[in-house]
Structure 1
Amino acid sequence: MPTTEELLARIERLEARAQGAEDYRDLVNLQGAYGYYVDKGLWDKAADLFATEGTLEIAGRGVYVGRERVRAYLRHLPPYGHGTLYNHMQLQPVLHIDSEAGTARGRWRTLMMVGWLGKEGRWGEATYENSYVRENGKWRIASLHGVINFYCEYDEGWHRGGVKLLRSIDGLAPDRPPSIEYEAFPEPVIAPFHYDEV
């Protein structure tokens, strides 16, 4: 028969595993929700998923610091409406979670279909290297870093090259410079990994 101490230790291990599973689910839902909100131009809802001091860095445009600066960045993106396609699918998660500390790191792939009726249509793909923090009992995005691997015109395909990255947002300067300098396909780019092995 196991001792009381052994049973208590087993319960603690099971509780830790259950917490880890719940955290994994919550983080997948958090990142998925971000993608769905961006799909439909729900910029305020997307910004609300960030921690108070959360950061956003996309396409080498620099780092925007704080939830309200993230909100300002997102509101500078084109509005969702008739003839707009802005799909951002969040795929292939690799998550490392410290439930006790309330922190996590995650790597994702986003596949994008972006376009405006009668103007342009593009495929895109990026790697997200993100961090998360539990804030007021809820997981929030502490940093979102989207490294664009390619953009291309849908009717030309990537075999003819890619679209150059837009390096700035009109009327909204970043708070910090980009953390890495790169160009997307056809140039090779590998987003830094938060892990060496899984």
Structure 2
Amino acid sequence: MSQGSDPIKMNDAEIQDVVARLDRLEARDAVRAVKAHYMQWADEKRRLGMGELFWEDAVWEELDLSGETIPGCRWEGRDAIADMFDHSPDRLWFTVHYLTNEAITVTGDTAVGRWKLLEPCTIRDEMAVWQGGHYVDDFERRDGEWKISHLRLTLDFQTPYDDGWLRRRHLSDAVAVQS
């Protein structure tokens, strides 16, 4: 490439490389924005509006620690996902989602995003809970727009605020560990 006042000259391969890198950067930003909207809208209880972030044929599921879908925790299709979020405030009355450790890999019109989650929340307005886990989400770009095609949430812990994860890792644990 030239230096000084001469215009930068690149061959076709170099131009294609720059365009591909720019596309990946813009795609990561678009995926990041979809996930940020998902977190914020969940906290704001946008209910049926959450469906806008998913493709018509999307899947939302919660996995157990072994990677298996938890029975009753899989929704297929934008409308089913939106309906699940419409009823979510009945169960999760208060939520604040914090995401960290982001990793987004873009391959053409698809992307995989991974995040760690920490979420203080209140269940049914009666129990303060800490939840922590991770997301592995698939995204697709269709007609220039990025949306979620498959969301997977795994909760590494879900514990009463006052017990903490040391004494009781999951709400489903029958008895808290004695300290």
- TM-score when normalising by structure 1: 0.73
1:96-135 equivalences under 5 Å are: 96-99=105-108, 102-115=109-122, 119-135=126-142
Is 1:41 equivalent to 2:48 in the alignment? no
Q: Name the SS of the counterpart of 1:78 in structure 2.
A: helix
Q: Render the CA deviation track for 1:18-71: whole Å, top value 9, x for unaligned.
A: 111000111111111100000111122322100110010025233211100111
Using the TM superposition, give the Cα deviation of residue 79 of structure 1 relative to its aligned residue in structure 2, in angstroms.
Answer: 5.0
1:5-84 equivalences under 5 Å are: 7-58=11-62, 60=70, 61-79=72-90, 84=93
- CA contact 2:140–2:146 (8 Å) conserved in 1: yes
- TM-score when normalising by structure 2: 0.80
Taking the aligned partners of 1:164 and 1:40, their CA distance within structure 2 comes to: 24
Using the TM superposition, give the Cα deviation of residue 163 of structure 1 relative to its aligned residue in structure 2, in angstroms.
Answer: 3.3
Task: State the structure with more CA Rg.
Answer: 2
Using the TM superposition, give the Cα deviation of residue 117 of structure 1 relative to its aligned residue in structure 2, in angstroms.
Answer: 9.2
In the comparison of the two structures, how many residue pairs are matched?
161
Q: Name the SS of the counterpart of 2:139 in structure 1.
A: strand
Q: Supply the AA of the counterpart residue of 1:141.
A: I
Q: Supply the AA of the counterpart residue of 2:129.
A: R
Instruction: Show structure 2 runs of 5+ residues with no match.
Output: 3-8, 64-69
Task: Give the direction of change, closer, same or farther, for the CA distance of 1:76–1:8 in structure 2 (3 Å limit).
Answer: same
Instruction: Show structure 1 runs of 5+ residues with no match.
Output: 166-182, 187-198
Using the TM superposition, give the Cα deviation of residue 162 of structure 1 relative to its aligned residue in structure 2, in angstroms.
Answer: 2.6
Taking the aligned partners of 1:45 and 1:91, their CA distance within structure 2 comes to: 24
Q: Name the SS of the counterpart of 1:62 in structure 2.
A: strand
State the identity as a percent.
22
Q: Render the CA deviation track for 1:82-134: whole Å, top value 9, x for unaligned.
A: xx5211223221111112xx111121111111116972101101211110111
CA RMSD of aligned residues (A): 2.6
Q: Name the SS of the counterpart of 1:164 in structure 2.
A: coil
Taking the aligned partners of 1:117 and 1:12, their CA distance within structure 2 comes to: 53
Taking the aligned partners of 1:159 and 1:128, their CA distance within structure 2 comes to: 22
Q: Render the CA deviation track for 1:146-165: whole Å, top value 9, x for unaligned.
A: 01110111112111113335
Q: Supply the AA of the counterpart residue of 2:115.
A: W
Task: Give the direction of change, closer, same or farther, for the CA distance of 1:68–1:118 in structure 2 (3 Å limit).
Answer: closer
Structure 1 segments of 4+ aligned residues over 3 angstroms from their partners: none
Task: Give the direction of change, closer, same or farther, for the CA distance of 1:118–1:6 in structure 2 (3 Å limit).
Answer: closer
